[in-house]
A and B are shown apart, each in its own frame.
Chain A
Amino acid sequence: QSTLTQPASVSGSPGQSITISCTGTSSDVGSYNLVSWYQQYPGKAPKLMIYEVSKRPSGVSDRFSGSKSGNTASLTLSGLQAEDEADYYCCSYAGSGTFVFGIGTKVTVL
């Protein structure tokens, strides 16, 4: 179980769209449509934003969307807003009841 690879940082201007990638292997991201994404503000618990690659929990803005191709999943933030500035983590099921997180991406709104 290795940590999923994410870019350390991504930035964009208000109103723009940004995409965060999450690269795993054929043992995790590539094998299951079970990728989730979390938003975390400093000192706070993470918040689930996307599950099962592209599903949004109730109450999560439709500006957040997810997708997957092969061993790489992606989270797209559309219409970037100041409140989107946070850390984002992907997470994938890795088989045998285990999960693995990505290293995290800091999103900066310019």
Chain B
Amino acid sequence: QVQLVQSGAEVKKPGASLKVSCKASGYTFTNYYMHWVRQAPGQGLEWMGIINPSGGSTSYAQKFQGRVTLTRDTSTSTVYMELSSLRSEDTAVYYCARGGTVTTSPPGGFWGQGTLVTVSS
């Protein structure tokens, strides 16, 4: 069965960088795009970016351009989300979510369990 397993909770200081992993299993990793979505405490969902695990191409929300980097390791079927220059407003649960086979497919039926990131001095 399809599973997305994310790395554990993190506490970071302002200005630091963050790297969250999302390990996929149960399907052909390179066939499906992967989205990253975050949710601040008590707030709504926020789309961050998408990666094509096949070629590694990416698209990012304008808000995160220059601060977020999505990468993948096809040998381990893992996608990584790196966010730099952290500030308190980046405190949130970060989710990976499988998309479809084309770039226009939204986050679909399979989501990671979420990774809580706390940014605090």
Q: Do A and B form a real pair?
A: yes
| A residues lining the B interface (CB < 8 Å) | 1, 3, 32, 34, 36, 38, 40, 45-48, 51, 57, 87, 89, 91, 93, 96-104
A101 x B109 contact (CB < 8 A) = no
Residues of A with C-beta under 8 A to B106: 34, 36, 48, 51, 91, 93, 99
B111 x A100 contact (CB < 8 A) = no
Contact of B47 among A34, A45, A96, A101 (CB under 8 A): A101
| B residues lining the A interface (CB < 8 Å) | 35, 37, 44-47, 50, 59-63, 95, 97, 103-109, 111-114
A45 x B50 contact (CB < 8 A) = no
B44 x A99 contact (CB < 8 A) = no
Residues of A with C-beta under 8 A to B59: 96-98
A99 x B35 contact (CB < 8 A) = yes
Residues of B with C-beta under 8 A to A91: 45, 47, 106-107
The distance in angstroms between the C-alpha atoms of A47 and B111, with both chains bound, is: 8
Most buried by B among A1, A51, A101: A101
B44 x A101 contact (CB < 8 A) = yes
23 A-B contacts (beta carbon < 8 Å): A36-B106, A38-B107, A45-B113, A45-B114, A46-B45, A48-B107, A48-B109, A57-B109, A87-B44, A89-B44, A89-B45, A93-B106, A96-B59, A97-B59, A98-B59, A98-B60, A99-B50, A99-B61, A100-B47, A100-B61, A102-B44, A103-B44, A104-B45
